[in-house]
Structure 1
Amino acid sequence: MELANSYLEEGFPFRGRKRKKMEQFLEKSGLTYDAQIIYSVLLCRGDGEIIGCGSRHENILKCIAVDETYQGEGLLQRIVTQLIKQAYTCGIPHLFLFTKPKYRVVFEDMGFYPITETDTMLLLENRKDGISHYLKEELAKFPLPPCKDAGAIVMNANPFTRGHRYLIETAAQACDVLHVFVLSADASEFPADVRLRLVREGCRDLENVMVHGSSEYLISHATFPDYFLKDKAGASDKAAELDLKIFADYFRDAFHIKKRFVGEEPFSPVTRAYNEQMKQTLPACGIEVVEIPRKTCGDTIISATLVREKFLAGHMESLRPLVPDNTYHYLVSQEGIALRKQLLERQS
């Protein structure tokens, strides 16, 4: 078909009527528009009709589709090339890509390498063996002692509370070595480097606990984007399954993990749905899921949400029984006061 007059149009992201047309185009391709998108490109015919599109959120390429009438004419490569080029101008060289498993060969030919897939989702990246290199580097930092029974916890710790400390202490008593992975995505109120630092400081006395950053391969914008949608009523089972499959396929063998520990989740529907999917997925991969009751302070369940509320309200003394000393010292420090000011300004 004649495509001489076709053109690319950029949106940062698109809004209004243009976004509505893009949503409708994606729906015809069996895809759903992602509210986290920050950049999109449309490929249009000369008459303005959309015949292809693609988008980016952070370093993840997604919502990529081409009208089936024009498939096989190099349009997909044109769209992906533009997405890569725009990401590079933003200083983002490492890219992940979400697509359907049937398009695996197409994207492999464009220089993307599969990480894992489910029956409905395929996740690729533009670095060959990227996850294997990450695991090798991480293992070099934390030489593993001989152990029969290693466990793992993946947590956000936003911020690190006595509840998190209780979960780690309890899990550490049930295995030879416990690996704690703190989410590396900077999508929470407390910055990723602060969260990681507080967990490391707060667990320094636990000799069999090793604290890691989670990288982009565990509960990240790439592996489990639903986690970061605060207004989402629940998590997609398929999205959770993809993240858990990466954990089972790569992290289990690298760290000799036989148990994954989680705290009971009475508050967050997304985390609760993820935990339920964990109970279904991981045991089939040889990983026992152990759920531990939440720690309480009197009649109150300790949660990071409660700590953040009191922190923002300036009720510093009421935080003492809810957080370890190192977290409390951070919250009342000049660094913590500056963060509180930033968060309050963001709210207003």
Structure 2
Amino acid sequence: MHDEIPIRKIIHVDMDAFFASVEQLDNPDLHGKPVAVGGSSDRGVVSAASYEARKFGVRSAMSSVVARKLCPDLIFVKSNFERYKEVSQKIRKIFLEYTDKVEPLSLDEAYLDVTENKKGYPSASLIAKEIRQKIFEQTGLTASAGISINKFIAKVASDINKPNGQKTIGPEEVLDFLENLDIRKFYGVGKVTQEKMYNLGIFTGKDLKNKSLEYLTETFGKSGAYYYYVVRGIHKSEVKPNRIRKSLGAERTFFENISSEIFMLERLQNIADEIERRLKKSKVAGKTITLKIKYSDFTLQTRSKTLPYFISDKALILEIVKELLFQEKVSNSVRLLGISLSNLNTEKKKTASKKETVSVQLSFDF
């Protein structure tokens, strides 16, 4: 017996170069100039880049040294998360005027389910246009949007007419759109998977669609089933207004590399303080503790341990972290350390889902 997939009206709203745009808004001298939010030191990392900077190839998560080489006129601005949160809350209020089904992904993007909405509007495209207009009027910032029958397609669509644009993929367009889509634009396909798919002759959605469920599961594990269904327009994930936190962590990048485990433990103590504070604030605890180590050559290592019980106490966290740190010798000097807790007591067990198929109503007003 096949389940019928409900056709929803989903909007994915994504602010345009959010952090950098807020900085340009607050400081008119930065308007129209290449701006990078983040540290300008040799050890700094770009958190966000304005569109003017992106033209030079500057991207988030890029080292500041590389960014400056690509764009010698790049202006670095320190991040101001309190300000970004303040603007984000204004934007969230606009979303809530239309629907309570709002799922924030971060400060600058969210999913909205407007199948039934507070305004009683039949068109999701018009709602997206109105929301973008209100965001601009109330904050001076631009946003882009994607509108479609599920979260996956809406997210892919929001990238198409960036910046300051929107794209609707109506129910009758979904299958053609997905077949013609370059595989690297599929949300959830990273660089490694992209290369793997290219090597297997999978370049577009159509190529992906030609592969059986068995083949994709064998080749890509659990993700194989996800790829099999999304390319057929099937993505049952609902917009979840209260997203369940799956992990909580903190990390520090050091001004100078450290090679002594004693110094590392000192830094890890400070990180554990921060973790405990955040766990108490969120009223959560976790079973899996992960130590993250980034070496001076940028190679990354994680070491984890899962306990049979939940913990949130700093002393217990540190005890496990210490054990993980001395599990094997730290092979190089270290530039970053992090601790995270996952397997939290907020997670619910997922029930096994039945086989999925899609039923598309062509007369749907988008």
* TM-score bracket for this pair, using the shorter chain length: under 0.3
Higher helix share: 1
Q: Normalising to structure 1: TM-score of the pair?
A: 0.26
| Bigger relative CO (Cα 8 Å, ≥ 6 apart) | 2
Q: Normalising to structure 2: TM-score of the pair?
A: 0.25
